[in-house]
Amino acid sequence: MAWTLLLLQFLLTCCPGSNSQAVVTQEPSLTVSPGGTVTLTCASSTGAVTSGHYFHWFQQKPGQAARTLIYNTNYKHSWTPARFSGSLLGGKAALTLSGVQPEDEAEYYCWLHYSGAQHSDRLIRGTKT
């Protein structure tokens, strides 16, 4: 039986001191059968995501706190299952789940960190909409 991986769409704004506003978008939801492969993407309104951008992917299950799965685009934590991987794909950040398991049903969201033209770090955080 197929089940749904729920994704959040976030409006993300730059930290104080920045005049610009970035919008990061994700698929509203995807359905995949156990054992299948699915790729979730995250795009930025500021342009193509490149190696100068650092995306962090979070997983949140009902009643639990969100936890980081992937950081700095493609690095895994010790608790991240091998079936999860991060990459850049077609100008977007991507999270791929290979061999999806029923316990992977959750909300997934991304967080963008990048450096501005003035070499100051910007943190873009999500707000549920």
Q: Which of 80, 88, 81, 101 is nearest to 38 (CA)?
A: 101
Phi, then psi, of 102 in degrees rounded to 5: -55, -35
Digit-coded pLDDT (tens) for 69-95: 998 888 899 999 999 999 988 888 889
pLDDT at 121 over 90: no
Give the pLDDT confidence score for residue 116 in this predicted structure: 54
The CA distance from 67 to 115, in Å, is 24
> pLDDT confidence of 31, banded at 50, 70, 90?
confident
Give the pLDDT confidence score for residue 24 in this predicted structure: 67
DSSP, collapsed to helix, strand or coil, labels residue 64 as coil
Token duo for residue 53? 């951008």
Phi, then psi, of 69 in degrees rounded to 5: -100, -45
Domains of the chain: 3-128 (2.60.40.10)
Instruction: Give the whole-number percent of the chain exceeding pLDDT 70.
Output: 61
Please state the length of the chain: 129
